[in-house]
């Protein structure tokens, strides 16, 4: 990881981010000798601790972040919570919870700055959660004003749509639903995603261009822009640093420079980067 993260070799993005910009989807990994990875993990990342994340954000001009618990740490949220405690005015978190998460644990997370729970429905990362546990956790976090983050694959958007429509709290779809950029704007999974976006409880992250396309991400831009145009008040942007399980080595400067293509209007850029995450996460 250190070679990839040598900032002396990295370019600055051409696009200047507005003050208060938020990376609404990023991770911290380890360090593994302090915060061990889950024994049942599907992948083992290189360490990417909180100091690395802050260095990247300083380099890019990002002021705030939402640190999303990743599956390689499972329901051990300590690395994420450690980062929140380090910069409580600048960081918020999204946790992974399960049937062993106590009420005291959840209350402590809320005080620490956690504002949501994430569930993975992606088959190569373990597939769907136990739905009894899923629904129980939603009932427990709803009174806290939290939301639920759904990591889904494009082929599963339509089969999951009825369940998603009936969720009793705000929900976020990660990574544009991972719809394949090559399949364009008329593909059925994207149309289903945009149909869900009609619900005022639906938020979508227009991050993950590197998951659905390859540089220079020309096919991902129309998809992201369509989502932003559809729900400008309920979109979020993030780097997805450090890009676990990515198909290629992504340069965050390239991802930042997609923003004016995704949201050409400076007022919409401010919503995407500053106002929307501030509203949802209480910055």
SS3 readout for 104-165: HHHHHHHHHCEEEEEEECCHHHCCCCCHHHHHHHHHHHHHHCCEEEEECCHHHHHHHHHHHH
Of 159, 144, 32, which is closest to residue 97 (Cα–Cα)? 144
Helix (H), strand (E) at residue 15? none
Contact 158, 179 (CB under 8 A): no
Using alpha carbons, list the distances in angstroms from residue 235 to 31, 75, 78, 261: 31, 26, 28, 15
Catalytic-labelled residue, pool 23, 63, 156, 240: 240
Tokens of 56: 């990247």
- Residues in the chain, total: 283
Spatial distance between the Cα atoms of 173 and 171, rounded to a whole number of angstroms: 7
Q: Is 213 labeled as catalytic in the residue annotation?
A: no
Distance separating alpha carbons of residues 111 and 84, to the nearest angstrom:
10
DSSP secondary structure letter of residue 42: S
| Residue 64, CA distances (Å) to 31, 56, 61, 189, 217 in order | 21, 12, 10, 31, 25
Residue 137: phi, psi to the nearest 5? -65, -40
In which element (H, E) is residue 95 found?
strand 91-95
Q: Which residues are catalytic?
A: 240
């Amino acid at each position: 990881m250190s070679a990839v993260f040598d900032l002396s070799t990295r370019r600055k993005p051409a696009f200047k981010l507005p003050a208060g910009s938020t990376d609404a989807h990023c991770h911290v990994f380890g360090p593994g000798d302090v915060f061990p990875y889950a024994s049942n993990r599907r992948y083992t990342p290189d360490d990417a601790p909180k100091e690395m994340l802050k260095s990247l954000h300083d380099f890019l001009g990002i002021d705030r972040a939402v640190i999303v618990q990743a599956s390689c740490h499972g329901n051990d949220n300590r690395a994420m919570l450690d980062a929140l405690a380090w910069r409580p005015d600048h960081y918020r978190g999204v946790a992974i919870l399960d049937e062993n998460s106590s009420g005291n644990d959840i209350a402590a997370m809320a005080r620490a700055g956690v504002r949501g729970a994430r569930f993975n429905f992606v088959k190569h990362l373990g597939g769907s959660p136990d739905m009894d546990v899923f629904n129980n956790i939603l009932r427990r976090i709803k009174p806290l004003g939290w939301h639920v983050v759904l990591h889904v694959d494009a082929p599963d958007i339509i089969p999951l749509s009825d369940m998603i429509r009936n969720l009793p709290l705000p929900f976020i779809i990660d990574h544009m639903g991972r719809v394949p950029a090559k399949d364009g704007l008329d593909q059925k999974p994207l149309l289903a995603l945009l149909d869900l976006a009609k619900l005022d409880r639906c938020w979508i992250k227009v991050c993950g261009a590197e998951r659905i396309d390859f540089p220079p991400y020309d096919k991902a831009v129309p998809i992201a822009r369509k989502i932003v145009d559809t729900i400008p008040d309920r979109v979020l942007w993030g780097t997805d640093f450090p890009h676990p399980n990515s198909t290629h080595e992504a340069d965050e400067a390239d991802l930042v420079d997609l923003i004016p293509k995704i949201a050409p209007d400076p007022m919409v850029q401010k919503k995407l980067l500053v106002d929307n995450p501030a509203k949802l996460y209480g910055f």
